[in-house]
């Protein structure tokens, strides 16, 4: 049986891979509901886990960008910061 911490870590890893892949393809804005749909999570799970990634990602910068029609995240490589 898995605990909530390891489930959360797995979710964060999946979200981080998704964001990094998007950034390498030139995408810089991501909606929580779109990420959730792609990864089989709820938008709330995505928002909670991305919030935890904001200070823990070494090679991309994650910023909460907009709240209209759901949360939008701006993501870009650290070298652009």
What was the pLDDT predicted at 12?
95
Q: Is the pLDDT of residue 1 over 50?
A: no
Protein fold of 4-80: Arc Repressor Mutant, subunit A (1.10.10)
What was the pLDDT predicted at 70?
84
- The pTM assigned to this predicted structure is 0.85
With cut-offs at 50, 70 and 90, classify the pLDDT of residue 2.
very low
d(CA 51, CA 35): 14
Q: Is the pLDDT of residue 80 over 70?
A: no
Q: Is the dihedral of CA 36, 48, 76, 70 positive or negative?
A: positive
């Amino acid at each position: 049986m898995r605990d909530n911490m390891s489930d959360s870590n797995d979710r964060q890893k999946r979200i981080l891979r998704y964001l990094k892949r998007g950034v390498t393809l030139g995408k810089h804005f991501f909606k929580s509901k779109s990420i959730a749909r792609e990864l089989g999570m709820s938008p709330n799970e995505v928002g909670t886990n991305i919030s935890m990634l904001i200070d823990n990602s070494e090679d991309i910068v994650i910023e909460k960008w907009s709240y209209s029609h759901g949360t939008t995240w701006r993501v870009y490589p650290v070298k652009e910061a």
